[in-house]
Structure 1
Amino acid sequence: MNLILERSKFVTYYTYIDTIFEKIPGFRNYNYFISDLEYNHCEDPRLHKNDFFITGLELYEIVQKEKIQFLWGVLSAFKSVAKLTPPFPYADGNPAFWQGSPQSQADGAEFEIVCWDSCRTLFIGVSEEIQQSLKILYPDIKNLDEENRKRKKPNTTSHNFD
């Protein structure tokens, strides 16, 4: 299942992932490969690199302490650390999210969290359990596949899908 969080009355700032990691503890049980990352600020050196793995618990600790807004980025969730080779998952400029039923970009990923231009959060390939938890937390979260069917021609250059 693919979901999109946008224009929600339950979200003050998009792509702050601290809330989902706090309210849905299962997110902390994965290892995340983080790629195409841009954020507003972060003092913690663990995020000062490109294309890397971090445990869900470490990521939770960082986002709780730092209150980071990820502007762009893909967080690919794995049960254990995997060996990945380029090309790595990316968000910025990726038109695949806005067509049909997007798939995880990283081979073997359980699901992906995509931070899109600080104004949308996408959840690609989430399980029924995660989907239900997200719908409880964000009752107005939408099915991305259905939203894609409604779109006429996405304008991926301006990032405006209204």
Structure 2
Amino acid sequence: MKGVILRKGESGYSYFSGVFSAIFPAVVERNWLITGYENYPEALEPYGGNLGREAFFWVPGERLEEIVRQQDYPWYWGVLSGFKREVPLHQVISYGLPYADGYTGFWKNPISIQHPMADIEIVAWDSALTLLISRDEAIAQAFRNAYPRSEDLETYNLGEPESEEWRKIWEEAELYYGDGAKGE
């Protein structure tokens, strides 16, 4: 399992056409569950059989790639979970649906994919960064090759500052949210 965070060096962080190009053909080889989304391409249509659950999309990879290529603008939030084609939707939705806003698991090691049956997870996080987590390290490496300023997510989570910029981000977060260790 390998994770990557893209948070610097780009003019936008949740435009997925570049991400899809970087990890091609992984996108078209899978079906995609899209959940916890905000500001998504209009051509996507929520799955009609949501069975009383929050709305989600279930999209073949070819269709998703086509839609994103035609309508490439930033997703604010969203989790795109990729599944091998033989995994049926009824098994996928028997688990909780992945989400981005408020999910703290991204920032803990060992990294993991939220949905136990998925093998890739692409996350738009407040349109401020993109996360990619994959069971196939070659996919994560392809992403890193396409985005040289991306970082290894496990290293990022260890809190080993790569720069003064990183330290400032965490200091600002502590001022805003308080020190969780003090029980505030």
Deviations 1:55-110 (A, max 9, x none): 11111111111113111111111112432225210100111111222211112111
Tell me if structure 2 keeps the 8 A contact 1:76–1:113: yes
Tell me if structure 2 keeps the 8 A contact 1:101–1:144: no
Give the ranges of 4+ consecutive aligned residues of structure 1 lying more than 3 Å apart after TM superposition: 151-156
SS at 1:28 equivalent: coil
State which of 126, 134, 139 in structure 2 corresponds to 1:117: 126
Instruction: State the TM-score, normalizing by the size of structure 1.
Output: 0.83
Unmatched 5+ residue regions in structure 1? none
1:131–1:43 Cα change, 3 Å: closer
1:48–1:33 Cα change, 3 Å: closer
Q: Which amino acid aligns with 2:72?
A: K
Q: Which amino acid aligns with 1:71?
A: Y
State which of 55, 60, 64 in structure 2 corresponds to 1:55: 60
* Structure with bigger gyration radius: 2
| Paired-residue identity, % | 32
What corresponds to 2:74 in structure 1?
A: 69
Deviation at 1:28, TM superposition (A): 2.0
What corresponds to 1:36 in structure 2?
A: 36
1:100–1:23 Cα change, 3 Å: closer
CA distance in 2, matches of 1:59, 1:89: 18
Is 2:7 the partner of 1:6? yes
Deviation at 1:24, TM superposition (A): 3.1
Deviation at 1:47, TM superposition (A): 5.3
Q: Which amino acid aligns with 1:37?
A: Y
Q: Work out the number of aligned pairs and report it.
A: 155
Over the aligned positions, Cα root-mean-square deviation in angstroms equals: 2.6
